[in-house]
Amino acid sequence: MHASSTDTAIDSLRELFAASQRIVFFTGAGISTESGIPDFRSPGGLWSRMKPIYLQEFIASPEVRREAWRRRFDNRDGWVGAQPNQGHAAVAEWIRCGRATAVITQNVDNLHQVSGVPEAQVIELHGNATYAKCLTCHQRVELAVLEQEFKATGDVGPCNCGGIIKSATISFGQSMPELPMRRAQQETLRSDLFVVLGSSLTVMPAAEFPHIAHRNGARLVIVNREPTPLDEIADLVIHDSIGAVLGTIPP
């Protein structure tokens, strides 16, 4: 993008933010690649090199479960130690001042919470990879505890209730989580400005939310490195770095 057109786009973005009272952010892998976390879905990304594990296989096979834990504790997905960047900080700032009400995220890296967005205002559509849960009683289990067990015994045993313990992400073959989906819908319908940050908007049904916002009369902004299928209905599209763009318009 030409420098002057970027300046014009930033001015337009500033005006849209200034005119809005209920901003909702929708974030995807692109905000976290700026923290060095690989985009699993991109060509050459993790999922093109390593077969994803489906929930049904995980439940059916102890060997598959061991492979899943091996991957987790090898940090082959690359998120351990990653820190929030300028984009996360800007989102947290808009939430803190009360002008943005929620962050709907496709990411599982916990970086919105780390950057200071209260837990209650982060809506995770694909779960969270920084802890585990029992599939039966939903008890939370910390990864550090499981890692010790795995390193000592080569396995992760069942929960006290007998249920299978799994990373708290939504796996392939697992249905979308009901409560977050409902909350995301509510926040989207209440928003007057819907801001997509770093999502290619190709993963359904998550990508429906910008459509819903647009149909409901909210303004729609998309900041993403690459074009998205919704660019043509957006009020403003910026193909640039999220941190650089949001960093220029503090609340």
Copy the structure tokens of residue 46.
């993790």
Contact call for residue 137 and Zn ion (CB under 5 A):
yes
Instruction: Please select the residue that binds Zn ion; options are 29, 37, 108, 134, rule is CB under 5 A.
Output: 134
Judge if the upstream peptide bond of residue 205 is cis by omega within 30 degrees of 0. Answer: yes
Give CA angle at 101 (95, 107), nearest 5°.
Answer: 80
Rama region for 153: left / alpha / beta (φ>0; ψ in -120 to 50; rest): alpha
Contact call for residue 136 and Zn ion (CB under 5 A):
yes
Residue 214 known to be catalytic: no
Contact call for residue 159 and Zn ion (CB under 5 A):
yes
Judge if the upstream peptide bond of residue 210 is cis by omega within 30 degrees of 0. Answer: no
β-strand partners of 105: 27, 124
Span near Zn ion by CB under 5 A; candidates 19-27, 132-140, 196-204, 209-217: 132-140
* Contact assessment for residue 122 and residue 112, using Cβ atoms and an 8 Å cutoff: yes
CB of 60 to Zn ion, least distance (A): 18
Q: Give 136 or 202: the residue with its C-beta nearer to Zn ion.
A: 136
Q: Give 21 or 136: the residue with its C-beta nearer to Zn ion.
A: 136
Q: Which of 88, 126, 138, 239 is catalytic?
A: 126
Copy the structure tokens of residue 237.
């599209």
Contact call for residue 163 and Zn ion (CB under 5 A):
yes
Copy the structure tokens of residue 20.
């809005």
CB of 157 to Zn ion, least distance (A): 11
Q: Give 58 or 94: the residue with its C-beta nearer to Zn ion.
A: 58
Span near Zn ion by CB under 5 A; candidates 24-32, 56-64, 136-144, 240-248: 136-144
* Contact assessment for residue 121 and residue 102, using Cβ atoms and an 8 Å cutoff: yes
Provide the binding-site residues for Zn ion, judged by CB under 5 A: 134, 136-137, 139, 159, 161, 163
Active site residues: 126
